[in-house]
Amino acid sequence: MHLFAPLQLRSVMLPNRIVVSPMCQYSSEDGFANDWHLVHLGSRAVGGAGMVMAEATAVVPEGRISPQDLGIWKDEHVAFLARIAAFITSQRSVPAIQLAHAGRKASTRRPWEGGGTAPLEEGGWLPVYAPSALAFSERALTPEEMSCAEIARITQAFADAAVRALRAGFKAIELHGAHGYLLHAFLSPLSNHRTDEYGGSYDNRTRFVKEVTRAVRQVWPEELPLLIRLSATDWVEGGWDVDQTVLLAQELQEMGVDLVDCSSGGTVAGVSIPLGPGYQVSFAEAVHNAGVFSGAVGMITEPEQADEIIRSQKADVVLLARELLRDPYWPMRAAKALGQEQMVPKQYERAWL
């Protein structure tokens, strides 16, 4: 097993273990994908990644992080997404999409606009929703606590989005259950102070995630893989932690989840995180050791580093983000550095001899 070994997920074969991590582009209008997304995602497929995953894609308009987020809450969104998925497929890569709801971290300005709450005149909205009426930070809106009826509505919205993703031609879905967004906010006792069946105990805090997973798996074809991204730890004592992540990963696997993408943090602002090369790989290793396919993320930049993660069975795939922003053709460079065969488009062969 190595970085360029194929990986079978249900009926889908990844040609290698390199996955383009979902990266928000903040470049949509009314949720629509456009030429920027086609070139951004398409160039990484040309570059040789085994799976190319579209950014956090909102299942309802109020579930966007910013007014410029990608969306899949209406049928009209499907056509351009289908163009993207078809191009990725034509490059022998697997097209995937991350379905998301930002929860209490919704309605913000884009990072290059300074972050913080997006005012109504800039396309922001009210209210934002969360498991409890607790703001993420002093700069964030105080959310409304979701009713059980609202929870059911959003669960259905995830399922409806999965149907649209299938129509668009995507071959894998990832549910976004990390980084303090809605699903993660239900998991963490730091953001979930509910006293009903969706709060308190581990079983109650994981109920919403399981309901969403079940609803999506019911409409997503059995032969296609379902992934989930989890924040393995909040990096705060008393928060969501690795042990709970491993237990949830095993339970979700029984419900039809095929791989857990292991990230961390995002629930609490201003937390000190020990950053460094591969600083989150141990979370993927814990999930992998529990018998669940896992993905490693976090400052993975060098071919030898990524290859070692796979060879030592710390994870089953590596997800690269910033390194693939810097170099869309990193997989080709990695194959050459590691002495592995890599498919290079004929248009580019002269540069890779």
Q: Which residues are catalytic?
A: 181
Instruction: Count CB neighbours of 1 within 10 A.
Output: 11
Closest CA to 96 of 86, 87, 85: 85
Instruction: Confirm if 205 and 187 have CB atoms less than 8 A apart.
Output: yes
For residue 215 the two structure tokens come to 């609803």
Q: Point out which residues pair with 316 in neighbouring strands.
A: none
Closest CA to 2 of 260, 342, 352, 351: 342
Rounded CA gap, 162 and 168, in Å?
10
Q: Positive or negative CA dihedral for 322, 73, 94, 83? A: negative
Instruction: Confirm if 296 and 288 have CB atoms less than 8 A apart.
Output: no
Q: Point out which residues pair with 261 in neighbouring strands.
A: 229, 295
